[in-house]
């Protein structure tokens, strides 16, 4: 571009940073912004082709927070459709605004619980990836029933993934991880990963970036749904497994305040 180009300034790359780490994608000119927020999820099972206006593999992020991982995936993998949900309207507003400003057409965000999305809106064998980064450990004894990762939830993830589909799970809470390691391999060929994901050496998500900056361990794993389990067997195994009643260690709660702060 010649130095005398009158549009040069307005075409400067607009990169945002969060805790010093670039947020994926670039803010486009307003004329290119899209609308990625859903007022609510469609009633009943989602028709993915109708929702995105095309047929493509679907990637879900449950408890997506500000959408950092999913927006990066949508920027770098334009050939996939993405849906992120979170129960907090505020974080969905942040995620939606950033996705809109990046002019993305292959991503949607909605306020919803992860369990509710899978149980009520996702047809069996209809999505190719399900991601769940740093699900809330819920420290108070009275909130234990809100923990997302349960045998019943894993059964739903197993049911919703298409053959060969993958589940990604990550936490910085050692108690939650011990529980996940016990139950997840029943339904998935689960591989643990000690290093950061290759696409995000400083962290895939806001929470991972914060945990790494604090020097906390981050536990990661992923795997394909076991195909040797019939739906009946999966149901029977789920009934035998323990519920997530681990001690989440309240000392780790300090990171939550940082997570809520502005970067
Ligand atoms: C520790 S934050 C992690 C956010 C993001 N995944 C990250 O790694 O930065 C946990 C998120 O899960 C959301 N959440 C809690 N319970 C949920 C549920 N049942 N379904 C969906 N989201 C949930 C919270 O609102 C919060 O945004």
pLDDT for the residue numbered 254: 79
pLDDT in tens, 178-214: 999 999 999 999 999 999 999 999 999 999 999 999 9
Interval between CA 91 and ligand 1 midpoint (Å) = 9
pLDDT for the residue numbered 260: 77
Compute the distance between CA of residue 111 and CA of residue 179 in angstroms, rounded to an integer: 27
pLDDT for the residue numbered 6: 45
Whether ligand 1 lies within 6 angstroms of the CB of 137 is answered as: no
Question: What H or E segment, with its residue span, contains residue 61?
Answer: strand 58-62
pLDDT for the residue numbered 159: 96
* pLDDT surpasses 60 at 8: no
3-class DSSP assignment, residue 83:
strand
What is the number of the ligand 1 atom nearest to the C-alpha of 209?
A: 9
Compute the distance between CA of residue 218 and CA of residue 38 in angstroms, rounded to an integer: 31
Whether ligand 1 lies within 6 angstroms of the CB of 204 is answered as: no
What is the number of the ligand 1 atom nearest to the C-alpha of 136?
A: 10
pLDDT in tens, 21-37: 999 999 999 999 999 99
* C-beta separation of 110 from 86 below 8 A: no
- Kindly state the average pLDDT of the residues 164-179: 97
Compute the distance between CA of residue 185 and CA of residue 191 in angstroms, rounded to an integer: 9
Whether ligand 1 lies within 6 angstroms of the CB of 88 is answered as: yes
Domain ranges of the chain: 50-260
- Kindly state the average pLDDT of the residues 66-89: 98
pLDDT for the residue numbered 263: 54
3-class DSSP assignment, residue 142:
helix
* pLDDT surpasses 80 at 10: no
pLDDT for the residue numbered 102: 98
What is the number of the ligand 1 atom nearest to the C-alpha of 85?
A: 21
User: Which of 18, 73, 65 shows the shortest CA–CA distance to 210?
Assistant: 18
pLDDT in tens, 93-136: 999 999 999 999 999 999 999 999 999 999 999 999 999 999 99
* C-beta separation of 161 from 130 below 8 A: yes
* pLDDT surpasses 90 at 257: no
Interval between CA 4 and ligand 1 midpoint (Å) = 47
- Kindly state the average pLDDT of the residues 7-24: 80
User: What's the N-to-C CA distance of the chain in angstroms?
Assistant: 33
* pLDDT surpasses 60 at 155: yes
> CA 63 → CA 7, 28, 67, 112, 136, distances in Å?
39, 26, 9, 9, 8
Q: Contacts from 239-244 at CB under 8 Å and sequence distance 24+?
A: 239/151, 241/151, 241/182, 241/183, 241/186, 242/151, 242/179, 242/182, 242/183, 243/150, 243/151, 244/144, 244/147, 244/149, 244/150, 244/176, 244/179
What is the number of the ligand 1 atom nearest to the C-alpha of 61?
A: 6
Interval between CA 177 and ligand 1 midpoint (Å) = 16
Comparing 146 with 258, which gets the higher pLDDT?
Answer: 146
pLDDT in tens, 203-250: 999 999 999 999 999 999 999 999 999 889 999 999 999 999 998 888
> CA 240 → CA 115, 150, 235, distances in Å?
20, 12, 9
* C-beta separation of 7 from 18 below 8 A: no
CATH number, domain 50-260: 3.40.50.150
Interval between CA 63 and ligand 1 midpoint (Å) = 4
């Amino acid at each position: 571009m010649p130095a005398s180009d009158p549009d040069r300034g307005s075409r400067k790359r607009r990169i945002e940073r969060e805790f010093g780490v670039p947020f994926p994608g670039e803010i486009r000119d307003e004329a290119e912004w899209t609308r990625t927020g859903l007022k609510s999820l469609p009633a009943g099972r989602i028709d993915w082709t109708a929702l995105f206006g095309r047929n493509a593999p679907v990637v879900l992020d449950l408890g997506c927070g500000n959408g950092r991982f999913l927006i990066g995936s949508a920027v770098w993998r334009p050939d996939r459709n993405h849906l992120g949900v979170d129960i907090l309207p505020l974080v969905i507003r942040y995620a939606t605004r950033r996705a809109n400003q990046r002019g993305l057409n292959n991503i949607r965000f909605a306020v919803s619980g992860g369990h509710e999305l899978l149980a009520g809106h996702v047809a069996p064998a209809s999505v190719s990836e399900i991601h769940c980064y740093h699900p809330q450990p819920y420290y108070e004894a009275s909130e234990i029933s809100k923990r997302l990762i349960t045998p019943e939830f894993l059964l739903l993830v197993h049911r919703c993934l298409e053959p060969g589909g993958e589940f990604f799970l990550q936490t910085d809470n050692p108690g939650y991880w011990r529980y996940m390691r016990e139950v997840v391999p029943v339904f998935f060929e689960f591989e643990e990963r000690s290093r950061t994901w290759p696409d995000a050496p400083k962290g895939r998500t806001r929470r991972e970036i914060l945990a790494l900056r604090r020097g906390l361990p981050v536990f990661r794993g992923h795997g394909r749904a076991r195909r040797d389990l019939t739906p009946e067997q999966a149901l029977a195994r789920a009934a035998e497994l323990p519920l997530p009643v681990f001690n989440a260690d309240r000392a780790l709660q300090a990171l939550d305040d940082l997570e809520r702060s502005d970067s």
